[in-house]
Structure 1
Amino acid sequence: MNHLNKRAWIIIAAAAVIAVLMAIIIIFAPTGSTSAPVMLTVSPDGGGKKPETTVTTGEASVVTYGTNSYTVPQSLTESEMRAVWVPYMSLYGLTKEGIDKIVSDCRNIGANAIIFHVRPFGDAVYDSEFFPWSHLLTGTQGADPGYDPLEYVIEKAHENGMELHAWINPLRISLSGGTPSPLSADNPYTKWRTDSDPSNDSWVVDYNGGKYYNPAVPEVRRLIIDGMVEIAAKYNVDGIHWDDYFYPAEDSSFGDGAQYSAYTASGGTASLIEWRTENINTLIRESYSRIKATDSSCIFGISPAGNIQNCLNAGADVYKWCSSGGYIDYICPQIYWTFESKVAPFDARCREWKAMVTNDDIDFYVGLALYKAGSDADGGQWKRSTNIIARQIEYLRSDAVRADGFMLYSYEYISGSQTFSEMENLIALLAANE
């Protein structure tokens, strides 16, 4: 046997030994999953979700939705953001079992992130030093639910290879219908309005039946930011998320007249809307700075309304946020129209927003109106077509936009008869790209 043949036989023998060892590892290795994989089955008659044992191949689960089957990898983290908003309406009486279901459902449609509502009404769906426990959990604001939902949902999301972003409404305390009511004794609104100090009464504002924090007040901004820093410090969240609620009024009917008068009396020359816009910008800059100082890996982003003029009227300076550093890590406008819309065609509105993002460090996501699927919205367009969301995602991925991902509004609509066909087409698209 010459030198080359001897070397070849050595290589072949070594390869055979490696192959045997790999076979032994595959046979006896654990799956790596901390929770049993489930199969999502949804019937078109609105039968809902039925957890079953999936077909599992290696580290992947084969999932079906209607007539489509696709593979969900053990870890779903990838370059494209595929998020689902879980709003406060989904959190009433929330239990650990309910959280398990939310995470499983989101994972099984191919999502890789959950945007979880943790402060919808100046409250907390977590153990907070600054805000009372949310009424959503027990029916009474301030009542301890006996566990920490944020801590638990983070654990479960990460076990399933998904990101968890804590979603807050920075200014809203209650809706015009009185939700939540009553406010707890330890709610900042209650404390400021019932203490012996009249100077802090205007730190909160009653407007159009609702209650709001007044962002013109430095102490109020500090409270809002302290609450976000608390989340970033205590919890292993991947991000903190704001939606589209800023100033609820465009005119002087919102009760911040005392602060604006003090500003002009000191020589300020900005108009009311310019002054309000700077209050919001200051809040966002300081939020970003302190979140990053607490946890540099925690991203901070905002999902404003898709109508740019409405944003500007509410004090949301989206042009500045998208072009400057130190405000946000991503923008996610809620572009809730169709391609055929006469008011705001989806493609044109996407290009308009994308053109605003001139800072290369800012990611561009788009919020999609899954809740409209199968409904009479927009003159029946969502009933006449069942692949609107899928086509929108294809457009976001195209060279015309090159978006970094999308978010679906909302969790309640990822199953059920109304959105079944739309979801089936959406999942087929996602499956084709796995």
Structure 2
Amino acid sequence: MCICLTFQRNICALKLILFSCLVTHDVILAKDGDVWPTREFRAVWVATVANIDWPTSSHLSSTQQQSEIVTMLNKLQELNTNGVVFQVRTSGDALYNSSLEPWSQYLTGTQGRAPNPYYDPLDFMIQEAHKRNIEVHAWFNPYRARASSTSKKGLAPNHMVFKFPNYAYAYGNNLWMDPGAKVVQDHIVAVYSDVVRRYDVDGIHMDDYFYPYPESGEDFPDTHTYHDSGSSLSLADWRRHNVDSLIQRLKSTIASIKPYVKFGISPFGIWKPGNPPGIAGLSAFDSLYADSKRWFEEGWVDYLTPQLYWRIDPPQQSYPALLLWWLQQNRMKRHLYAGNYAAATVTKHWQTSEIIRQVQISRKYKDILSLGNIQFSAKYFVNNTLGLADKFKAELYSSPALAPSMSWLNASSPPAPPNVVTSGAVIKWSADRTGIVRSWSVYHMKADVWELVKVLYKDQTSFDTQMRNGYFAIRAVNRLCMESKPVFISKGQISVGTIVG
């Protein structure tokens, strides 16, 4: 016991010496080995089709539409979320200024009519979201040409059904473009590329509509395209090849334009029945011709968000069983963000506790790259439906979080915050001059653990500690949420073991 006490005294003396070397005018140089909070992507889908989430009406003025965006983002910031998946193309239309496709009817009431007074909704969303340290992923539906109608009446002259009339089909209650037609695929790639080039989006997102969900007794009318292709593949394999080809092209095209822009897909949550054993339901592989397991395995996406729109307990569509199965397909170590059906608290009368528990289950798998959740959809949180927003804030998102970074994407590492000083209770530093910094993360040491207390937009270069004592750390954050080395700051009474140990 005497030997142990002597050893402990020597360690404390060594820490005191190290600390005296580290502290300079209350600023402490960075050191390795610290443990930082777990990253988590916390996002909502913002659906514009049928005015589900935004704008709430196609007859709102430009000012009212902008006000709704600001209100939405303020609420999401208050809830400590860090992402929106914003639907910018519902069915061959555009909720942004496009030379390739017409303005959406959901924006102005008439397809092809621009907002008046003019503004660009995607650009406005990006600017306002980034100020609040919220990522914007532009969400596209690739093949649907018109939702809830098979009529071409009211479609703008530059709509894709008129550009490619031989490949536009009425199927079920919608109009669809033929995924097997190269001119259609080329057009879709051009639309995606245009947005990547012109807008400061953080991600590009595709939903679960590939070949349409099957209609009873009605086959998708692409027989002539299949025969004209001369393919030796079966019809089903040919259809899957068409979708695979688009996914590969989009991934490589996005990377060639802006290698830091993320590419994600939210497929139907069941790849094939029986995967894992006991799971039953529609087969996305056989019915939608979406081999999403392959896209994940091959690393054709940066993140996958399977739509796990089922409860936890029923075995035939078990949320945890499906989540774990998807994680086990991730041989390229990409990210998985579970897709959750918050709308079911209204449409299916689920208890809000079901959604809370699903997020908690997702967190249990963080060590195998379950790194967040995307909720469908925004309005249930903005409107605090059934107290859902309050419960998320109290039980899940009580403090901010940075989105997980993607080491395989190309972005410059941010430099450490420059010229950090203290002035009373305020920590200050100089503005970024490199153009790399998107935001600043501020940490406080609490019970020997670094806690993220604030994420500041790049233009904010001070933080009021509100007279809290202890240790703080400031880090620069780039657009991929990669952080710089920290700069540590001591405030008030110094505890040697905390800062160096």
Q: Identify the TM-score tier after normalising by the shorter chain.
A: 0.7 to 0.9
For structure 1, list consecutive stretches of 5 or more residues without a partner in the other structure.
1-10, 23-76, 193-200
Aligned partner of 2:376: which letter? Y
Residue 131 of structure 1: which of 87, 94, 101 is its match? 101
2:71 is the alignment partner of 1:97? no
Q: What SS does the aligned partner of 1:241 have?
A: strand
Q: What SS does the aligned partner of 1:407 have?
A: strand
Distance 1:176 1:99 in 2: 26
Per-residue CA deviations over 1:346-387 (Å, capped at 9, x if unaligned) read: 111111111122112x111101111112x462xx5x24xx32
| TM-fit CA distance, 1:342 | 3.8
**Is the alpha carbon distance of 1:432 and 1:140 closer, same or farther for their aligned partners in structure 2, counting shifts above 3 Å?**
closer
Structure-2 residue corresponding to 1:324:
298
Per-residue CA deviations over 1:290-340 (Å, capped at 9, x if unaligned) read: 111111111111001112233212011112101113x21110001111212
The 8 Å contact of residues 110 and 430 in structure 1, kept in 2 or not, is answered as no
Moved over 6 A (4+): none
| TM-fit CA distance, 1:215 | 1.4
Per-residue CA deviations over 1:196-249 (Å, capped at 9, x if unaligned) read: xxxxx3222221231112111111111001000000000000011001101115
| TM-fit CA distance, 1:179 | 8.6
The 8 Å contact of residues 370 and 419 in structure 1, kept in 2 or not, is answered as no
The 8 Å contact of residues 141 and 180 in structure 1, kept in 2 or not, is answered as no
Per-residue CA deviations over 1:5-34 (Å, capped at 9, x if unaligned) read: xxxxxx9xx97xx57xx9xxxxxxxxxxxx
Structure-2 residue corresponding to 1:202:
166
Distance 2:152 2:43 in 1: 27
Distance 2:125 2:38 in 1: 20
The 8 Å contact of residues 89 and 139 in structure 2, kept in 1 or not, is answered as yes
Alignment of 1:77-92 (within 5 A): 79-88=39-48, 89=52, 90-91=54-55, 92=57
Alignment of 1:211-290 (within 5 A): 211-248=175-212, 253-263=219-229, 266=230, 268-290=231-253
Residue 76 of structure 2: which of 87, 106, 110 is its match? 106
**Is the alpha carbon distance of 1:258 and 1:331 closer, same or farther for their aligned partners in structure 2, counting shifts above 3 Å?**
same
Per-residue CA deviations over 1:101-157 (Å, capped at 9, x if unaligned) read: 121122121110010010011100001111111111110000011110001100000
Pairwise CA RMSD of aligned residues?
Answer: 2.6
Distance 2:81 2:153 in 1: 34
Alignment of 1:307-346 (within 5 A): 307-309=270-272, 310-312=283-285, 313-325=287-299, 327-346=300-319
The 8 Å contact of residues 288 and 328 in structure 1, kept in 2 or not, is answered as yes
**Is the alpha carbon distance of 1:137 and 1:127 closer, same or farther for their aligned partners in structure 2, counting shifts above 3 Å?**
same
Alignment of 1:415-434 (within 5 A): 415-416=382-383, 418-420=385-387, 422-432=388-398, 434=400
**Is the alpha carbon distance of 1:324 and 1:140 closer, same or farther for their aligned partners in structure 2, counting shifts above 3 Å?**
same
The 8 Å contact of residues 396 and 402 in structure 1, kept in 2 or not, is answered as no
Structure-1 residue corresponding to 2:358:
392
**Is the alpha carbon distance of 1:101 and 1:282 closer, same or farther for their aligned partners in structure 2, counting shifts above 3 Å?**
same
Structure-2 residue corresponding to 1:121:
91
**Is the alpha carbon distance of 1:300 and 1:78 closer, same or farther for their aligned partners in structure 2, counting shifts above 3 Å?**
farther
State the aligned residue count: 346
The 8 Å contact of residues 331 and 364 in structure 1, kept in 2 or not, is answered as yes
Structure-2 residue corresponding to 1:295:
258
The 8 Å contact of residues 149 and 175 in structure 2, kept in 1 or not, is answered as no
Distance 2:358 2:213 in 1: 32
TM-score w.r.t. length of structure 2: 0.65
The 8 Å contact of residues 121 and 180 in structure 1, kept in 2 or not, is answered as no
Aligned partner of 1:96: which letter? Q
Query: Sequence identity of aligned pairs in percent?
Result: 30
| TM-fit CA distance, 1:395 | 1.1
Aligned partner of 2:343: which letter? Y
2:319 is the alignment partner of 1:356? no
Structure-2 residue corresponding to 1:28:
none
The 8 Å contact of residues 246 and 316 in structure 1, kept in 2 or not, is answered as yes
**Is the alpha carbon distance of 1:179 and 1:103 closer, same or farther for their aligned partners in structure 2, counting shifts above 3 Å?**
farther
TM-score w.r.t. length of structure 1: 0.74
Q: What SS does the aligned partner of 1:413 have?
A: helix
**Is the alpha carbon distance of 1:219 and 1:191 closer, same or farther for their aligned partners in structure 2, counting shifts above 3 Å?**
closer
Aligned partner of 1:218: which letter? K
Structure-2 residue corresponding to 1:155:
127
**Is the alpha carbon distance of 1:407 and 1:417 closer, same or farther for their aligned partners in structure 2, counting shifts above 3 Å?**
closer
Greater helix share, 1 or 2? 1
| TM-fit CA distance, 1:343 | 2.5
Distance 1:147 1:180 in 2: 27
The 8 Å contact of residues 87 and 116 in structure 1, kept in 2 or not, is answered as yes
Aligned partner of 2:298: which letter? S
Distance 2:171 2:195 in 1: 28
Distance 2:253 2:243 in 1: 15
Per-residue CA deviations over 1:365-417 (Å, capped at 9, x if unaligned) read: 101111112x462xx5x24xx32222211111114864111101101111447
Structure-2 residue corresponding to 1:26:
none
Structure-2 residue corresponding to 1:413:
380
**Is the alpha carbon distance of 1:399 and 1:116 closer, same or farther for their aligned partners in structure 2, counting shifts above 3 Å?**
closer
Distance 2:205 2:171 in 1: 24
**Is the alpha carbon distance of 1:180 and 1:433 closer, same or farther for their aligned partners in structure 2, counting shifts above 3 Å?**
farther
Structure-1 residue corresponding to 2:445:
none
Distance 2:340 2:347 in 1: 16
Q: What SS does the aligned partner of 1:404 have?
A: strand
Aligned partner of 1:332: which letter? T
| TM-fit CA distance, 1:262 | 2.1
The 8 Å contact of residues 131 and 188 in structure 1, kept in 2 or not, is answered as yes
The 8 Å contact of residues 80 and 398 in structure 2, kept in 1 or not, is answered as no
Distance 2:69 2:267 in 1: 26
Q: What SS does the aligned partner of 1:141 have?
A: coil
Distance 2:176 2:94 in 1: 16
2:146 is the alignment partner of 1:166? no
Per-residue CA deviations over 1:43-65 (Å, capped at 9, x if unaligned) read: xxxxxxxxxxxxxxxxxxxxxxx
Aligned partner of 1:419: which letter? L
Distance 2:79 2:187 in 1: 37
